[in-house]
């Protein structure tokens, strides 16, 4: 069975996860994750840290499902589940905690998140770097509220994004600000939720979020527009754009990949292609204070990758006319031999105006599913 990699490792300093977000969309804490700030520490004099911290928690909210009909992840500020409280350092060496005096924060089941008072703001009003760190700590614990476990810093394939559910490499506190709610975090939600799109398993909803998960090779260009991203090749017709997703699986599992495209302007005939590349990944190394290791995503370990192998490709010819709707372009299923795999989808085209220069072609989301 394939599992989008987003997964497990434990942590110098950050909390113990619990399984939770089931494929029918409920969490072990209920339908939504509810949180509330409680107790002293959030407000000192006229300084209320909550408004800024809410903006970080709300970062989990920005992702919508495939039809934008409901949120993939839902966080509500309301008493009922995760009560956020500051606790003295000694609290974290008590029984019932996996951590010790160095622990930043712990999520207790569905009841509470305890944060170490060692990390209260150094001054009031709190400096911006404190918010950047504490905001990520809260995101991380809320992520556990969804049932997400730990992931590796190298497992998010958007530029310069360390997943918020990664642990050791964040460097503790300060240093947590290195993390962002990233591709890998959303993959965890999409996989767990299972209702994101008809394919049930997707690389991302990246085009809903602009180009952040996508990359181009040199000389090509794109812009975001209605319905997705417009991409065109370089001036000599070369180049492609691509998106990479980590999956774990049983060796021998097969995956499909799909991207939709549309031609919005007339011109010369041409072809659009999609390619599925894959590379094997191995993890090694001990990790940091690791417990709860599930899928081989090892935060401090070495991530070794093979070269990319072309698994499947497909091309569709267009007679030069505008197409009225997005059309699917799907690779055939390809079997993977490694236990951990990065799947990279590349797309390109050679369609041109009558003038001969290349047109931008509209694309929407990359989708990957296990066959």
Member of 12, 15, 29, 53 binding Zn ion (CB under 5 A): 15
Name the one range near Zn ion by CB under 5 A: 10-18, 23-31, 271-279, 285-293. Answer: 10-18
Q: What is the nearest approach in angstroms of Zn ion to the Cβ of residue 60?
A: 15
Nearest to 259 by CA among 242, 234, 246: 242
To the nearest 10°, report the CA torsion of 37, 72, 110, 76.
Answer: 30
Q: What is the nearest approach in angstroms of Zn ion to the Cβ of residue 112?
A: 7
Peptide bond into 174 cis (omega under 30): yes
Give the strand pairing for 179-180 and 162-163: parallel
Name the one range near Zn ion by CB under 5 A: 106-114, 175-183, 333-341, 357-365. Answer: 106-114
Residue nearest to Zn ion as judged by C-beta position: 114
Q: What is the nearest approach in angstroms of Zn ion to the Cβ of residue 333?
A: 35
Indicate the residue among 140 and 352 with the shorter CB distance to Zn ion.
140
C-alpha pair distances (Å), 132 with each of 54, 103, 126, 213, 234: 12, 18, 10, 22, 38
Indicate the residue among 14 and 259 with the shorter CB distance to Zn ion.
14
Indicate the residue among 90 and 266 with the shorter CB distance to Zn ion.
90
How many residues lie near Zn ion (CB under 5 A)? 3
CA 290 to chain centre: 22
Q: What is the nearest approach in angstroms of Zn ion to the Cβ of residue 92?
A: 7
Member of 4, 14, 297, 345 binding Zn ion (CB under 5 A): 14
114: contact with Zn ion by CB under 5 A: yes
What's the N-to-C CA distance of the chain in angstroms? 10
The C-alpha atoms of residue 79 and residue 253 are separated, in whole angstroms, by 43
The C-alpha atoms of residue 67 and residue 198 are separated, in whole angstroms, by 10
263: contact with Zn ion by CB under 5 A: no
The site for Zn ion (CB under 5 A) is made up of 14-15, 114
């Amino acid at each position: 069975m394939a599992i989008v990699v987003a997964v497990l490792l434990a942590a110098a300093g950050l909390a113990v996860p619990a399984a939770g977000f089931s494929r029918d969309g409920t969490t072990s804490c209920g339908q939504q994750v509810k949180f509330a700030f409680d107790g002293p520490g959030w407000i000192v004099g006229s300084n209320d840290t909550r408004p800024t911290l809410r903006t970080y928690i709300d970062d989990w909210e920005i992702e919508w499902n495939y039809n934008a009909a409901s949120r993939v992840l839902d966080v509500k500020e309301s008493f009922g589940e995760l009560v956020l409280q500051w606790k003295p350092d000694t609290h974290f060496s008590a029984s019932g905690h996996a951590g010790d005096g160095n622990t930043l924060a712990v999520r207790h089941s569905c009841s509470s998140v305890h944060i170490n008072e060692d990390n209260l703001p150094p001054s009031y009003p709190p400096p911006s770097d404190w918010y950047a760190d504490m905001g990520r700590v809260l995101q991380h614990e809320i992520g556990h509220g969804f049932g997400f476990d730990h992931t590796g810093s190298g497992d998010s394939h958007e530029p310069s994004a360390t997943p918020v559910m990664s642990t050791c490499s964040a460097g503790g506190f300060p240093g947590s600000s290195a993390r962002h709610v990233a591709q890998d975090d959303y993959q965890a939600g999409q996989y767990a939720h299972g209702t994101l799109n008809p394919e049930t398993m997707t690389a991302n909803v990246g085009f809903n979020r602009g180009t952040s998960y996508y990359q181009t090779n040199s000389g090509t260009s794109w812009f975001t527009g209605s319905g997705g991203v417009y991409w065109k090749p370089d001036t000599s017709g070369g180049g492609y754009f691509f998106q990479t997703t980590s999956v774990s699986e049983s060796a021998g599992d097969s995956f499909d990949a799909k991207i939709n495209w549309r031609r919005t302007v007339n011109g010369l005939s041409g072809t659009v292609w999609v390619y599925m590349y894959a590379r094997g990944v191995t993890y090694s190394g001990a990790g940091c204070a690791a417990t709860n290791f599930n899928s081989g995503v090892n935060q401090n370990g070495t991530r070794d990758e093979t070269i990319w192998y072309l698994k499947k490709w497909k091309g569709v010819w267009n007679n030069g006319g505008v197409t009225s709707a997005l059309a699917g372009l799907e690779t055939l299923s390809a079997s993977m031999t490694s236990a951990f795999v990065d799947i990279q989808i590349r797309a390109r085209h050679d369609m041109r105006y009558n003038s001969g220069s290349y047109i931008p072609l509209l694309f929407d989301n990359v989708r990957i599913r296990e066959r």
